[in-house]
Amino acid sequence: MVNYKGKTALVTGASGGIGKTYAKELASRGSHVILVARSDDKLNALADELALKYKVDTYVLPLDLSEADSVDELAERIKKLGLDVDILINNAGFGTHGRFETISIDREQEMIRLNISTLVGLTHQFLPYMQQQREGIIVNLASVASFQPLAYMATYAATKAFVLSFSEALYAENRHLGVRVLALCPGTTKTSFFDVMGTTDMPGGIKGTPESVVKTGFKGIEKNRSYIVDGANNYWVAQASRFMTRKAMAIIGERVTRPSK
């Protein structure tokens, strides 16, 4: 069994959805939590709730992690608090939807910074301490979209393919060093993600819950997995690329994800 009690967990994107649920579950297991997102009010409300209910230490660090220097700023603020990070939940991210050429390139680049550059930067920042302690957990939020190209969400799916590959490689590098690295791959989940993206027109609807995703994440860590997919149907979707050519997967995916309007 993995011991969470007394550990310090950094959760990005903690103001709602999967990040908020992760923070609650970690606090319920005795972890102190560092909460990071842009929304100061939501983070403070969550911090007060967790401190009161679970008697853990909570720290609120409002920050826009899509900004170029945000990783260094966050690391410096955590250092000033005198904290070391035992558990890193790289949850912050967003998606875009539509034909690639119609999406603002600034928005695409912002997504790449947050989904990839920030995740890599935070992992690089906090992994060495975990290695020194011969103990630690890193959970990187990937997606069922990590496993195949996804038309009309081309850049988003590509960022999540990166997260999956990156996480599996770090799992292999650190498997004998006491650090568990997991790519957590949800399908469509009932969060504000689709409000930010600007559409709820997803194949099969939006059925997953943050609670299910987080439960699956803890299961993956307990089993020392390199990746785990939330939901049986999502698992088989993820495995489809093993039985079809990449060209076929891209074409079938385009037909399934083609906007209705």
pLDDT tens string for the chain (261 positions)?
899 999 999 999 999 999 999 999 999 999 999 999 998 999 999 999 999 999 999 999 999 999 989 999 999 999 999 999 999 999 999 999 999 999 999 999 999 999 999 999 999 999 999 999 999 999 999 999 999 999 999 999 999 999 999 999 999 999 999 999 999 999 876 555 544 555 556 555 547 799 999 999 999 999 999 999 998 887 777 787 777 788 888 888 787 777 766
Q: Please name the helix (run of DSSP H) or strand (run of DSSP E) that holds residue 61, with its range, or none.
A: strand 58-62
Stated pTM of the model: 0.91
Q: Cα angle vertex 192, ends 126, 201, to 5°?
A: 125
User: Which of the listed CATH numbers 3.40.50.150, 3.40.50.300, 3.40.50.720, 2.60.40.10 matches domain 8-257?
Assistant: 3.40.50.720
| Residue (of 249, 203, 248, 254) closest to 99 by Cα position | 254
Helix, strand or coil, per DSSP, at residue 148:
coil
Q: Please name the helix (run of DSSP H) or strand (run of DSSP E) that holds residue 3, with its range, or none.
A: none
Question: What strand order describes the sheet that includes 227-229?
Answer: 58-62, 32-37, 8-12, 87-90, 136-141, 179-185, 227-229
Helix, strand or coil, per DSSP, at residue 90:
strand
- Name the catalytic one among 22, 156, 171, 227: 156
| Cα gap 104→184, rounded to integer Å | 28
| Cα gap 143→91, rounded to integer Å | 11
Catalytic residue status for 152: no
The domain limits of the chain are: 8-257
First to last CA, the chain: 49
Question: For residue 197, with 0-12 CB atoms within 10 Å meaning exposed, 13-18 middle and 19 or more buried, which class applies?
Answer: middle
Give the β-pairing of 8-12 and 32-37.
parallel
